[in-house]
Amino acid sequence: MSDLAAFFRLMGAFWVLVRADAVFPRALDPYLPPGARLLARFLRLFAGPQGRRGRPGQRLAVVLERLGPAAIKLGQLLSTRADIFGQTFADDLARLKDQLEPFALEIALGEVAKSLGKPVSDMFSEFGPPVAAASLAQAHPARLLDGRKVAVKILRPGVEHRIRADIRAMTLLARWAERMGPEARRLEPRALVATVARSLELELDLRLEAAGASELGEVMARDPYMRAPQVIWEGVGKRVLTLAWAEGMALSDLAALDQPDMDRPALATNLIRAFLAQALDHGVFHADLHEGNLFVASPDRLVAVDYGIIGRLGPAERRYLAEILWGFLERDYHRVALVHFQAGYVPTHHSVDAFAQAIRAVGEPIFGHNAEAVSMGRILGQLFEITALFDMRLRPELVLLQKTMVTVEGVARRIDHQHDIWAAAEPVVRRWITRELAPPARIHKLAQDALSILEGLARHAKAPVEPSAVVVETQSTASRLLWFAVGAAVAGAAFMIAALVVR
């Protein structure tokens, strides 16, 4: 029954898109291949009156809002890429970030009282109407009893049901996509949907978002690039989150960048460096950095809100990311290619040199150029062709990272049309490379690995032995002694080298 419901939901969504002429908007006709152009003309025969009113972006925004939270998030991502889809199209989608239809204040007050388990007046002296409404929740200004101004985020009534329906529909669509051939399977549609679904589910518990805001607040405080509002823990429940009021104006407000003494280049640089510092140095990053979630104040201050989607990277992924970025900064394309192979991003039957050549074709035209001189649409198209040529599959564990990189780069372009992403990234990447890959750091890591081996052997030696395992234990004695000797030798050598370096 769930598959049948998902099927009808997908068919209904497709029909809504067709009626609004939002499947293949007329503005895209010059870029479509002949077959797609013919299909677009056929589908327009079924377009309704709404398909002839307004611009393509306006029609798509209306449709995505009707289709629900998952579709709205897609619109938010598209709205950050004016360089690909055009400024007018992006502007028409921009209201999906935080200007959707709000629910009534009376409902919001009821949700707060229910979630916090006490009357609203027991915590707030003032509670105003919503100032921002997004796909999952809306935000209200309020004052605590001690006079502090806060923002109260409240989940939309019934949003959990819509998210579950969206996930079922996306899962069914992913299964269909996998049957379309090798090219579709290369994009790992089911793994992609599972990643997106998990992030959506986590967004439905605002207690987890509070924890994410607290964690990232501590991370951000270590660098000057970005800040997080303080969590007011007594105002946190499953469906309610209270944060200190964010300084400045929402970046989604067209007047935000026109505040007096605003330093646009520094602001764009801070955004890039904040994201990279979070991802590389700490392995945790804000994964929804669109304009609706960023507040700016002169001259270059950034405050991020909405911590529902948090991305995480393990030590290996952080190293691969840093080395790939450093390779591009140094224009060492062979190193970039080699890291891709070491990470398993490119199948080993391909040539490292051939892949380095393909990467050079992408890197050289953009290195040293500012955002205005680079066509990101062309670059993304070229990258997609390269991934197909070298049988590269989508990596589900990197989906949030890649999505955030696309968003952040797009927002930085909007802040400063002359922005140079490489110049912004260089100090943060250099810091990581110097700290993690310099000889002292390598020696320290080697010593840690050796100690781990010794500790593991010690624990194994102390473990009780079952009678049935005596024979196996006897046979493995020589092996364990060998590993102990190796571990001791490695540890000793590492500490000797470290001592020499220190001296």
Active centre residues (catalytic): 288
Q: Are 373 and 338 contacting, i.e. CB atoms less than 8 angstroms apart?
A: no
Q: How many C-beta neighbours within 10 Å does residue 199 have?
A: 19
Q: How many of the other CB atoms lie within 10 Å of CB of 431?
A: 17
Beta bridge partners of 241: 153
Per-residue tokens: 389: 């040529």
CA 460, chain centre distance (Å): 41
Query: In this structure, are strands 294-297 and 132-133 parallel, antiparallel, or unpaired?
Result: unpaired
- Tell me the C-alpha distance between 115 and 132, whole Å: 20
Q: How many CB atoms lie within 10 A of CB 410?
A: 24
Alpha carbons 177 and 258: distance in angstroms, whole number: 45
Rounded distance between C-alpha atoms, residue 482 and residue 494, angstroms: 18
DSSP letter at 408 equals H
User: What are the distances in angstroms from CA 311 to CA 421, 431, 432?
Assistant: 21, 21, 19
Chain centroid to Cα 266, Å, comes to 22
Per-state percent for the chain, helix, strand, coil, to nearest 5: 65, 10, 25
Residue type at position 288:
D
Measured distance CA(325)–CA(387) in Å, rounded: 18
**What DSSP character marks residue 120?**
G
Instruction: Please tell me the distance from the alpha carbon of residue 239 to that of residue 259, in angstroms, as a whole number.
Output: 34
Alpha carbon dihedral 177, 181, 183, 189, in 10-degree steps, equals: 30
Closest CA to 96 of 71, 130, 120: 71
Task: Report the helix count and the strand count for the chain, using DSSP H and E.
Answer: 20, 10
Is 460:423 a contact under the CB 8 Å cutoff? no
Q: For residue 388, which amino acid is it?
A: A
What's the rounded Cα separation, in Å, for the pair 461 and 487?
15
